[in-house]
Amino acid sequence: MPLLTMNNVHKRFGALTVLNGINMSVEAGQVAAVIGPSGSGKSTLLRVINGLEPIEKGTIEVDGVSTASLQGLREVRKQVGMVFQQFNLFSHLTVGGNVMLAQRLVLRRDKSEAEKRARELLARVGLEEKWGSYPSQLSGGQQQRVAIARALAMDPRIMLFDEATSALDPELVGEVLGVMRSLAESGMTMLVVTHEMNFAREVADRVLFMDKGSVLADGTPEDILVRPTDPRIQQFMRRLTEH
């Protein structure tokens, strides 16, 4: 059974249809990159999974739990980690506080257990020495790595990355992609909205191309990125290399 299943998912913002009947699934351990032009619904595709945006029609299941009920949605949120374009660290908490908060409140871990897990994960993203720093004292790349550690601290089954490197200065992109790459290698299931085509090609098992709220193509990185057959994908890939 797939870890994530979306069935006929529709989402509108007013008159604008953002997701137009999405059907797709992601197997455990898979790394799927989602690419496509801006406004094609990539971010929304991620945001409906943990209910940051409600859907009008269709069903979403994570590990067999449907997001239709409030209780199911809360369960799904525990299983789904999310990393945002703007990091969204809690500015009033230290790095350690950011990584411990949800462990304490949601998973009810005691302080020493939460701290142990937080320190492990910060070491994993190379930031153990930043434990007592506040987000404002960190670079964008460091903040994003803390955000990844914060999401991992919930021991999620699947991680969603919403353009995790788009807000970063070019020289900081590499350190975040490095963490994402090692996470992929460790077997984490990942759904990655990205404009980093090299990352998609090298790390993803699978690439989904979205256009106008639908998944236009779904295949290996080779099929989609290197030898696309669909003219819309060809045009998109041409534009990416044209500057």
Partner 1 sequence: MFLDWGSITTFYGQLLKGAGLTLVITGLAFAIAIAVGLLVCAGRISRVAPVRWASTVYVEVMRNTPVLLQIFIIFYGLPSLGLRFSAVTAGVLGLGLNVGAYLAEIFRAGVIAVPKGHREAATALALSKVQTLIWVVIPVSLRAVFPALSNMFLATLLGSSLLSVIAVPELTGETNEISSRTFLTIEVYSFSTLIYLALTLSCSIGLALLARWLFPRASRS
Residues forming contacts to partner 1 in the complex (CB under 8 A) are: 50-52, 74, 77-78, 80-82, 84, 86-94, 101-102, 105-106, 133-137, 147, 150-151, 154
Cβ 221 to partner 1, closest distance in Å? Answer: 27
By beta-carbon proximity to partner 1, the closer residue of 102 and 176 is 102
Cβ 99 to partner 1, closest distance in Å? Answer: 10
The CA distance from 223 to 243, in Å, is: 23
**Nearest alpha carbon to residue 176 among 135, 133, 125:** 125
By beta-carbon proximity to partner 1, the closer residue of 9 and 146 is 146
Cβ 86 to partner 1, closest distance in Å? Answer: 5
Cβ 210 to partner 1, closest distance in Å? Answer: 21
Phi then psi for 13, rounded to 5 degrees?
-110, 100
SS3 sequence of 103-172: HHHCCCCCHHHHHHHHHHHHHHCCCHHHCCCCHHHCCHHHHHHHHHHHHHCCCCCEEEEECCCCCCCHHH
By beta-carbon proximity to partner 1, the closer residue of 108 and 243 is 108
**57-62 and 206-211 beta bridge pairing:** unpaired
By beta-carbon proximity to partner 1, the closer residue of 30 and 43 is 43
Cβ 229 to partner 1, closest distance in Å? Answer: 36
By beta-carbon proximity to partner 1, the closer residue of 107 and 216 is 107
What SS3 state is found at 218?
A: strand
The CA distance from 99 to 118, in Å, is: 6
The CA distance from 100 to 49, in Å, is: 23
